[in-house]
Structure 1
């Protein structure tokens, strides 16, 4: 049977600031992100199975990514966990959606985090093939399972 790749596109809005960065990205700023999630597997072959002919139902993939990745960070400010305490406290006091990460919230590190969160949530017959995170219209980072074996 042939392996097939499925890709689902997600969009979200988020802001971040890069600590100790020498440039404009040191300041809090936002992006309209696009995330491509690609899985790979073999289509189910069973006339009685509700997903006959599918590697995975796109609806199931959407639910996993929405709940695990998109909802927690959409319209949030991502800061490294050791951001200045007065900033963190002020944002929390004003009820801003704040996500403190154990890493510098770069596009690259976000992809590694997404990969770690998604890998174990996919059905056993499906593997995470790649992730592509667009930070701007012209800039993106990619993660491929084949590059990390």
Structure 2
């Protein structure tokens, strides 16, 4: 069985090498969807009987390890020294990335943020990062 949970957050970033407006400091209303897979729990009387996992627990993991780290913060590339210095002076919530903080990079980051916190019997199949309603990246853990 496969289930998906969605959260929303506001974040900023810049892509200094971009030829478009993305080379400016700017923000997005991001949407993050985590799709997990597992067997339906069939332990009689268990609070999660009939579920892969409780949506509330998946939400808690996503909120703690993605939202609460990046919401109203900035994702900035470690090699973007000028913006990194400025952003770190101004913001408490900063995610420093090893590559430019594109939707693809942030999908991979978010996948790796939540995967270790899932129950042992649940597999993270896909992390979808919406940068805008029309643009998103999917990461499946396969590089």
What is the TM-score normalised by the length of structure 1?
0.86
Residue in 1 that maps onto 2:37: 40
Instruction: Report whether the alignment pairs 1:82 with 2:79.
Output: yes
| Greater C-alpha radius of gyration | 1
Q: Which secondary structure state, in structure 1, belongs to the residue aligned with residue 41 of structure 2?
A: coil
Instruction: Report whether the alignment pairs 1:50 with 2:47.
Output: yes
Residue in 2 that maps onto 1:117: 113
Instruction: Report whether the alignment pairs 1:103 with 2:96.
Output: no
Q: Which secondary structure state, in structure 2, belongs to the residue aligned with residue 118 of structure 1?
A: helix
Change (3 A) 1:18 1:131: same
2: CA distance, partners of 1:25 / 1:116: 25
Residue in 1 that maps onto 2:122: 126
1:138 corresponds to which of 126, 134, 137: 134
Distance apart, 1:10 and its partner CA: 0.6
* Structure 1 unaligned blocks of 5 or more: none
Residue in 2 that maps onto 1:72: 69
* Structure 2 unaligned blocks of 5 or more: none
Q: Which secondary structure state, in structure 1, belongs to the residue aligned with residue 27 of structure 2?
A: strand
Q: Which secondary structure state, in structure 1, belongs to the residue aligned with residue 132 of structure 2?
A: coil
Residue in 2 that maps onto 1:63: 60
What is the TM-score normalised by the length of structure 2?
0.89
